[in-house]
Structure 1
């Protein structure tokens, strides 16, 4: 069975639903990997992620080569053509091998009629690539490789930074580890990796971050199953320090999946009185449980499958610290999830902003006077970030903004914004609020 599988056809089956706006790479790719021979899984991932990363550029090329667009029922063929173009533009696979395997995939997809079409289009691109692409010089979709609404919004939000953000989005993100300081120092962790021939450099801002020179299978990482390391971007590792939790305090982590920030908090702060993690979706809550168990932290917090916009799960006992890792557009992590460019819509941002403000307003009464709340997103849009905090403070006189004095990101009127950086961290936003102490009447 393994020998009979055409990896390009399998990749086309993964990408076709996305072209119809159904699902995502994270929902379709895992099942495909299970049906893929182990020796071909890396190639399958490369084909899917690479094609999604270059999608808008590839679509411009495909449209120019086709006499008429594919019909709606031909999404698999559309995906296959894009996969073929990506291989010819970016893959180290010899062009003749990539072309032949892609053409053969038409039969594996039961579309033999398209064999000559796919072959002709890809061979024409091979012959005329330079001339064709020179003609796209003034095409913003080809040049910036993003949907127009996203280009325009970034240019409006960040007139001095938008081009750098778009360029960084199209690069592959590094694999970054968080060192469990309950078990290792940063230096000893780095030596452990070097002993396993996994070169890594210390992060720029987090004292638990090691950035790998090359991504590796976690099964190669020494002590991973024993909880020495976790995979987590350096920007996401900043939350524990900003929360500044202390032993004996009660802490809430809202919207906690997949549990990276929760586990970092527990690793960094032994002796917390009570830690409650809330996650709405049961499947995502299971991922939190899996991470807690791998790190041996499952007894150090209570996980509730509940809605952060509701209070029916709250026991009316205030929290000293609250972390809100709010659901967002994910536009700061496009490097890791390139299908966001295709699946996200401009109108989504307003709806997300309403959810974010609703969560923040709902959880605020749960914070004790004098307590500290950290609001975080992996978005680069101010509408989801500083404008949420500005609106919230205007509505809540007992909310005080705490400026973040740090060497990372850029200071905003409310909070700090990080943009994705080549070879470094993702795009992220953080803001810190405190609740004013109750005044005792004289």
Structure 2
């Protein structure tokens, strides 16, 4: 048996275990394991598929496993059963004998012969008897929750806010891996030149039909490309790129990016300024500020000033009316990016959403005084929750009579998603395959 294949399954189990124990993000852990284990080529794809697939489908896998388990086994054994069952049910190119063999070898290595026999017994019974039907679940919302592995509280919440059809579409869409998108740094190269260079490096890319300066990567991860290293592109989702356009940037403006890390929007704003003006980028953590500055250097952008600061205390540092534009890309529940970070589904709860909306409003309130009259304040989140989005917007306008809704000015391809209010945009993952995202625009009255 190929030793590398076993290593991939062991690595997958390591990642799943660390996610459970450390509550770390799957994407960060996966990158660490790939580098540490020196996993290369097709094995990276297999490892990514097993890890993300097992997390994405965890509730469904547990539903299938439950009839075969008299009691809950140790967590690592349960994760081994989950990742084995995921391959059996969802990956048709892997022979079951290989899945069984590798699961047993890992069980022996991590545990003992008794655990290996237990794992074999469970997998053999599933092979003989098959998995139970999801149609046995009578309640439609519970069935949707288990079949798409979304917690029931979340499905109920979305159902109340969005209706059944949109909720069902979103839950199903969240099970699919996102397409990597990138923003072309038009100060260094044209979009056509970047597409040509990436194609020469072996990547399969195409123009975005959503954002003018965006491309989509259909094959490969361009973070490892020379084009990326030279600062010709930044990896950023198309939904996220809409934020820069919402600020209606023109040369020589002074812009505050109040919650800037990891710096994708900061770079976009600086590029839209065409090397003029200044972007003050803030974050609470010094290591994140370092990343923003390194990214600015890679892109060749000298108009970014990254500073460590808590955005809830802006008025202590900056004078009133000192910025032409302010972006509050606020800390949020992240419920719009579940395809990228599927583990979020299982760690958030309803109280998190409610407490975050208070933090978001706090930062907006702190930012309001710093904007010049006639200036534009943009609020954005990567969530689809209405309390964090429309609720925060409503409360902000209620508390600030010196602000008014500002109609969003976006590329025509995005304008069809703008709400009837014209100053808000709610993107759902199923709209065009981007992240779930919310944007609202306000103008300070003259």
Whether TM-score is above 0.5 comes out as: yes
Taking the aligned partners of 1:186 and 1:82, their CA distance within structure 2 comes to: 43
Match of 1:207 among 212, 217, 223: 212
User: Among 406, 416, 419, which residue is 2:425 paired with?
Assistant: 416
Partners of 2:335 and 2:382 within 8 A in 1 = yes
Q: Distance in 1 between matches of 2:130 and 2:372?
A: 63
Please say which of residues 91-100 and 34-43 is displaced more in the overlay: 34-43
**Structure 1 residue 375, shift from structure 2 partner:** 0.7
**2:102 pairs with 1:101:** yes
8 Å CA contact retained: 1:179, 1:228: yes
Distance 2:95 2:138 in 1: 27
Distance 1:234 1:291, change over 3 A: same
Give 1:32's aligned residue. 33
**For residue 46 of structure 1, what is the aligned residue in structure 2?**
49
Q: 1:65 aligns to what? A: 68
1:171–1:422 Cα contact (<8 Å) kept: no
Q: For the Cα contact (< 8 Å) 1:319–1:368, is it kept in 2?
A: yes
Q: Which residues of structure 1 form unaligned runs of 5+?
A: 438-442
What is the distance in 1 between the residues matched to 2:21 and 2:107?
19
Deviation string 1:321-369 (CA, Å, 9 cap, x unpaired) is 0111111111111111111111111211011101100010011111111
Structural mapping, 1:289-368, within 5 Å:
289-297=293-301, 299-311=302-314, 312-314=316-318, 318-368=322-372
Q: In the superposition, relative to structure 1, how do residues 79 and 408 fare at CA in structure 2: closer, same or farther (>3 Å)?
A: farther
The aligned residue for residue 120 of structure 1 is: 121
The answer to whether the Cα contact below 8 Å between 1:278 and 1:305 also exists between their aligned partners in 2 is yes
What is the alpha-carbon distance in structure 2 between the residues aligned to residue 348 and residue 246 of structure 1? 37
- 2:178 counterpart residue number: 173
Structure-2 separation of matches of 1:116 and 1:30: 32
- 2:230 maps to 1:226: yes
What is the CA–CA distance in structure 2 between the aligned matches of 1:352 and 1:372, rounded to whole Å?
23
Q: Which residue of 2 aligns with 1:401?
A: 405
3-state SS of paired residue (1:267): helix
CA deviation map 1:86-144 (0-9, x unaligned):
11112232221122112211133235431111111122222333555564576523323
1:440 paired residue number = none
Moved more, 203-212 or 138-147: 138-147
Contact 1:168 1:420 survives alignment (8 Å): yes
Could you tell me whether the CA contact under 8 Å between 2:204 and 2:218 is conserved in 1? yes
| Alignment deviations for residues 33-85 of structure 1 (CA, whole Å, 9 cap, x no partner) | 33313234433322211111111111111222211112xxx211111111111
- The CA distance in 1 between the partners of 2:132 and 2:396, in whole Å, is 53
Cα–Cα, structure 1 residues 154 and 101, in superposed 2: closer, same or farther, change >3 Å? same
- Report how far residue 224 of structure 1 moved: 1.4
**Secondary structure at the counterpart of residue 223 of structure 1:** helix
CA distance in 2: counterparts of 1:124 and 1:136, whole angstroms: 22
Normalized per residue, the structure richer in helix is 2
- State which drifts further: 409-418 or 74-83: 409-418
**TM-score, length-scaled by structure 2:** 0.90
- Range 141-150 or range 11-20, more displaced: 11-20
1:269, CA displacement in angstroms?
1.4
Residues 52 and 422 (structure 1), Cα distance of their counterparts in 2 relative to 1, 3 Å cut: farther
Distance 2:369 2:358 in 1: 18
Q: Tell me, in whole angstroms, the C-alpha distance in 2 between the residues paired with 1:156 and 1:379.
A: 16
**Does 1:268 pair with 2:272?**
yes
Change in Cα spacing, 1:131 to 1:239, as seen in structure 2 (3 Å) is closer
What TM-score comes out, normalization by structure 1 length?
0.91
CA drift of 1:166 comes to 0.9
Counterpart selection for 2:155 from 143, 151, 158: 151
Whether 1:255 and 2:255 are equivalent positions in the alignment is no
CA distance in 1: counterparts of 2:35 and 2:197, whole angstroms? 31
Report whether the alignment pairs 1:7 with 2:8: yes
- The range that moved more, 8-17 or 152-161, is 8-17
